[in-house]
């Protein structure tokens, strides 16, 4: 896994904050009701800020293009990925899985055939069940 800078799209609804109050902003509201969320990037949402990392370790940014040494993590690891993911390529998950296993770790990884980055229907229900099961198993004392 390689650390990359974070910047959401100008068109990403999560990157806009409603300034008119709860329940008052909608897609039909004038632009003045919204403010750019700086956690999505700099004032110019079309410009990447390569000094900001998408990942933190102990509250510290990981420099861009630095490999995250996931094999040093000693806790349980659970990953779900669609084999048609257009954001997080499935081969990247396979490399992480191989790295973890070479380090003697036992990650729990589930591949979903035909799914992209956002699962749908029965696949999403199955994924949620797997996540809940995993969390119940690893959180027991």
pTM score, whole prediction: 0.61
pLDDT digits (tens, 9 = 90+) for 92-129: 999 999 999 999 999 999 999 999 988 999 999 999 99
Would you state the pLDDT for residue 103?
96
Distance CA(121)–CA(43), nearest Å, equals: 37
State residue 118's pLDDT score.
87
- Give the chain's length: 141
- For residue 137, give both structure tokens: 């198993």
- 30, pLDDT greater than 50: no
For the stretch 51-66, pLDDT in tens is 666 666 677 777 666 7
Sequence-ordered alpha helix ranges (H) in 7-120: 90-102
Residue given tokens 């349980």 in the structure block: 76
Instruction: Show me where the domains of the chain are located.
Output: 13-61, 70-139
**% pLDDT > 90, the chain:** 40
Instruction: State yes or no: pLDDT of 70 exceeds 70.
Output: yes
């Amino acid at each position: 896994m390689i650390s990359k800078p974070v910047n959401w799209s100008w068109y990403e609804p999560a990157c806009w904050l409603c300034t008119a109050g709860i329940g008052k902003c909608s897609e039909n509201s004038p632009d003045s009701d919204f403010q750019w969320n700086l956690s999505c990037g700099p004032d110019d949402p079309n410009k990447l800020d390569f000094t900001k990392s998408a990942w933190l370790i102990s509250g510290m940014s990981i420099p861009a293009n630095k490999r995250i040494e996931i094999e040093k993590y000693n806790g349980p690891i659970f990953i779900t990925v669609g084999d048609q993911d257009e954001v997080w390529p499935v081969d990247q998950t396979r490399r992480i899985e191989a790295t973890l296993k070479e380090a003697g770790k036992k990650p729990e990884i589930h591949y979903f055939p035909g799914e992209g980055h956002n699962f749908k229907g029965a696949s999403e229900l199955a994924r949620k069940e797997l996540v809940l099961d995993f969390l119940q198993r690893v959180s027991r004392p």
